[in-house]
């Protein structure tokens, strides 16, 4: 053999060896649900929850029963799990655009990191709350959209069949109805009568959403995402060579508006709906810092909108269960796409939600609190290499910042995770030890999961609202120093606040000490860029501006303008 031929043969063999190695790298399907709490069959959050596909995945993998969001609202939660950096490090814990936070922007997302490690990256639906940088993804699918909604001809509005007391929350959070309940919005002196459902993207005019019946209609965003996933996986199989993939599927439901085809509502007849387990006056032993929260306003508007408060809760619970069932069907179709492909035995599937959701517990009907209903999330990891442990559960507390390091570890990704000097190192820890040994993995992370929400008082992490969830306890420390403590071994619903119980003084002291030791005293300061405290949500900003102009609106003279006071004064 000539020297040139020999070199060519060696090179060919080396390329073949590298390609074979590439084929051996596992693929990743990351399924992200929106606002899903423990209303999942295998989690037992509601006796009527019907999720055979999520249950099926749990039986194929490991279910983490004590998993928590690091900030229980969409935008900061997604920024944290995509980067693996805790909100108390970045200061991204409220409603400010994460792409305006230099620490978040300076940290690689798991998609960027995977791409640098030879992965093809695809996403569809809602992964980050705001668009991801172009360099993160090889292909982008269906854009996120929460609708459809009713419209008044100019903008989206709440469904006319929903309680008027929820209307001030806007179309997104005040709408729950089957698609078959086609809305007709009455005419006003400024808008015409408008009938039908409409799709809507921020800043754009509503567009008609075609619906005649469940069998003759336009597909919803999640259904379009599944179609796109199927086409993309077929393309990948034919075109990508030996590159492994990371596919992120963002499912919009059960986020509001709670609108899905009628057949899903029909699966949960209103007369047979069981209400969530709720204790009356459950906030009486809490600091009640959320007494005027958005969740409280939604709950109050719902139950006061019906002659029988239970009817309102039954209707809303029916709507939520229907949306969970719809989401589970989407999950099932995604799993089938993988199972019916050549990637079945070489794909890691990770499923979780960005945070939970209150359905009346502690008089809340939203998220962004520090109680179990909104911090706890479903979290499942199925890796074919750990099939002997399929169906097992882990009750050790973990959190969503563990997503990034777990994927990186399981896929043997290497390299720096910072994009520039403003970025922060990953705060999360790999869950791989629990996959190998669910009973007692060699965990290197903390013994509790930490959650933060904005107190709007400071940019100091220690002055935010904070909580720590261990195996047995939940400890909450608010920005003003007020506290709550719950013992989950005796009180799974968090009905009894033990913060002032002398028998638990040492437990509370230790939880407080550990929490404040974990949380940095300052957020990471970006070089050459200022990092401001997270902004209030737009609605809160509008209310505060109104209060400055109309201080007389504060009728009870507590120096705060509540939403009912705002609404009453503006109505005059």
Domain count of the chain?
2
The rounded distance, in Å, linking the Cα atoms of 536 and 546 is 14
pLDDT at 563: 63
The rounded distance, in Å, linking the Cα atoms of 537 and 131 is 19
pLDDT at 532: 43
Indicate whether 320 belongs to any domain.
yes
Question: In CATH, what number is assigned to the domain containing residue 493?
Answer: 3.40.720.10
Flag whether the pTM goes above 0.85.
Answer: yes
pLDDT at 546: 58
Indicate whether 275 belongs to any domain.
yes
Give how far Cα 21 sits from Cα of 17, 68, 118, 243, 347, Å: 6, 35, 11, 10, 15
> What are the pLDDT digits (tens) for 407-442?
999 999 999 999 999 999 999 999 999 999 999 778
How high is the mean pLDDT of the chain?
A: 90
pLDDT at 531: 41
Tokens of residue 9, six digits: 């043969």
Among residues of the chain, what percentage have pLDDT more than 90?
A: 80
Transcribe 370-391 into DSSP letters. Answer: SSHHHHEE-EEEE-GGGGGGTT
Tell me the residue range of the domain where 419 lies: 32-147+220-518
Indicate whether 236 belongs to any domain.
yes
Residues 136 and 277 in one domain: yes
pLDDT-derived band at 254 (thresholds 50, 70, 90) equals: very high
pLDDT at 359: 98
Residues 297 and 414 in one domain: yes
Lowest average pLDDT, out of 3-17, 407-421, 454-468, goes to: 3-17
pLDDT-derived band at 538 (thresholds 50, 70, 90) equals: very low
Residues 514 and 542 in one domain: no
Residues 548 and 505 in one domain: no
pLDDT-derived band at 340 (thresholds 50, 70, 90) equals: very high
Report, as an integer, the average pLDDT of 522-545.
58
Which secondary structure element, helix H or strand E, spans residue 558, and what is its range? Answer: none
Q: Which of 545, 571, 560 is nearest to 291 (CA)?
A: 560
Contacts of 429 (CB under 8 A, 6+ apart): 402, 405, 443, 444, 445
Residues 511 and 561 in one domain: no
Identify the burial level of 429 via C-beta atoms within 10 angstroms of its C-beta, where 0-12 means exposed, 13-18 middle and 19 or more buried. buried
Task: Return the sign of the alpha-carbon dihedral for residues 159, 164, 169, 174.
Answer: negative
Residues 506 and 558 in one domain: no
Report, as an integer, the average pLDDT of 84-97.
94
Residues 478 and 554 in one domain: no
Q: Chain-centre distance of CA 144, in angstroms? A: 14
* Residues in the chain, overall count: 572
Mark out the alpha helices in 25-141 (DSSP H runs). 52-60, 74-83, 87-90, 102-105, 110-116
The rounded distance, in Å, linking the Cα atoms of 354 and 127 is 9
> What are the pLDDT digits (tens) for 104-149?
999 999 999 999 999 999 999 999 877 666 678 999 999 999 999 9
pLDDT-derived band at 204 (thresholds 50, 70, 90) equals: confident
pLDDT at 441: 75
Q: Which of 451, 445, 371 is nearest to 69 (CA)?
A: 451
Whether the predicted pLDDT of 202 surpasses 70: yes
pLDDT-derived band at 21 (thresholds 50, 70, 90) equals: very low
Residues 437 and 348 in one domain: yes
Report, as an integer, the average pLDDT of 187-204.
91
Residues 508 and 546 in one domain: no
Residues 548 and 411 in one domain: no
Transcribe 415-451 into DSSP letters. Answer: S--BSSTT---------HHHHH-SSS----S-SSEEE
Residues 458 and 556 in one domain: no
Indicate whether 483 belongs to any domain.
yes
Residues 554 and 502 in one domain: no
- φ/ψ (deg, to 5) at 174: -115, 15
Q: Which of 406, 249, 210 is nearest to 331 (CA)?
A: 249
> What are the pLDDT digits (tens) for 158-175?
999 999 999 999 999 999
Indicate whether 567 belongs to any domain.
yes
Indicate whether 414 belongs to any domain.
yes
pLDDT at 561: 73
Other beta carbons within 10 angstroms of residue 272's beta carbon come to 9
Whether the predicted pLDDT of 244 surpasses 60: yes
Report, as an integer, the average pLDDT of 254-272.
98
């Amino acid at each position: 053999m000539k020297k040139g031929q020999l070199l060519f043969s060696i090179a060919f063999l080396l390329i073949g060896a590298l390609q074979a190695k590439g084929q051996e790298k596992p693929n990743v399907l990351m399924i992200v649900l929106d606002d899903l709490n423990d209303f999942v069959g295998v989690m037992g959050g509601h006796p009527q929850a019907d999720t055979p596909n999520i249950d099926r995945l749990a039986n194929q993998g490991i279910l983490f029963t004590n998993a928590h969001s690091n900030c229980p609202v969409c935008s900061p939660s997604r920024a944290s799990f995509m980067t693996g950096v805790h909100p108390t490090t970045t200061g991204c814990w409220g409603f400010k655009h994460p792409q305006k936070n230099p620490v978040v922007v300076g940290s690689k997302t798991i998609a960027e990191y995977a791409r640098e490690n030879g992965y093809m990256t695809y996403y569809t639906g809602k992964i980050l709350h705001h668009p991801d940088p172009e360099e993160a993804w090889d292909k982008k699918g269906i854009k996120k959209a929460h609708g459809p909604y009713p419209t008044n001809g100019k903008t989206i509005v709440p469904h006319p069949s929903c309680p008027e007391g929820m209307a001030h929350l806007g179309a997104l959070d005040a709408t729950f109805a089957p698609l078959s309940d086609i809305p007709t919005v009455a005419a006003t002196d400024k808008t015409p009568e408008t009938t039908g459902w409409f799709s809507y993207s921020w800043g754009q005019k509503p567009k008609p959403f075609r619906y005649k019946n469940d069998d003759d209609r336009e597909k919803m965003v999640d259904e379009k995402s599944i179609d796109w996933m199927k086409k993309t996986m077929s393309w990948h199989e034919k075109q990508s060579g030996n590159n492994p993939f990371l596919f992120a599927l963002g499912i919009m439901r059960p986020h509001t508006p709670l609108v899905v085809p009628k057949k899903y509502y029909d699966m949960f007849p209103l007369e047979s709906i069981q209400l969530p387990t709720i204790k009356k006056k459950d906030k009486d032993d809490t600091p009640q810092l959320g007494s005027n929260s958005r969740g409280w306003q939604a709950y109050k508007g719902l139950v006061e909108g019906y002659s029988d408060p239970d009817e309102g809760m039954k209707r809303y619970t029916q709507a939520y269960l229907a949306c969970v069932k719809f989401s589970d069907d989407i999950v099932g179709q995604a799993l089938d796409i993988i199972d019916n492909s050549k990637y079945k035995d070489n794909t890691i599937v990770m499923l979780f939600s960005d945070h939970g959701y209150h359905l009346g517990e502690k008089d809340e009907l939203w998220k962004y609190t520090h109680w179990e209903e909104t911090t706890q999330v479903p979290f499942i990891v199925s890796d074919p290499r750990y099939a002997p442990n399929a169906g097992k559960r882990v009750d050790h507390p973990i959190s969503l910042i563990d997503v990034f390091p777990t994927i990186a570890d399981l896929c043997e990704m290497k390299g720096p995770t910072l994009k520039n000097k403003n970025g922060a190192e990953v705060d999360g820890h790999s869950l791989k030890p629990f996959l190998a040994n669910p009973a007692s993995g060699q965990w290197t992370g903390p013994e509790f999961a930490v959650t933060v929400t904005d107190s709007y008082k400071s940019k100091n992490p220690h002055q935010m609202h904070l909580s720590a969830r261990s195996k047995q306890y939940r400890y909450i420390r608010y920005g003003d120093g007020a506290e709550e403590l719950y013992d989950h071994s005796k009180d799974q619903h968090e009905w009894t606040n033990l913060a002032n119980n002398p028998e638990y003084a040492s437990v509370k002291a230790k939880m407080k000490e550990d929490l404040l030791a974990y949380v940095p005293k300052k957020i990471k300061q970006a070089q050459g860029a200022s990092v401001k405290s997270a902004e209030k949500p737009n609605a809160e900003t509008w209310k505060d501006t109104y209060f400055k102009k109309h201080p007389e609106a504060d009728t009870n003279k507590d120096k705060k303008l509540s939403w009912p006071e705002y609404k009453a004064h503006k109505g005059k």
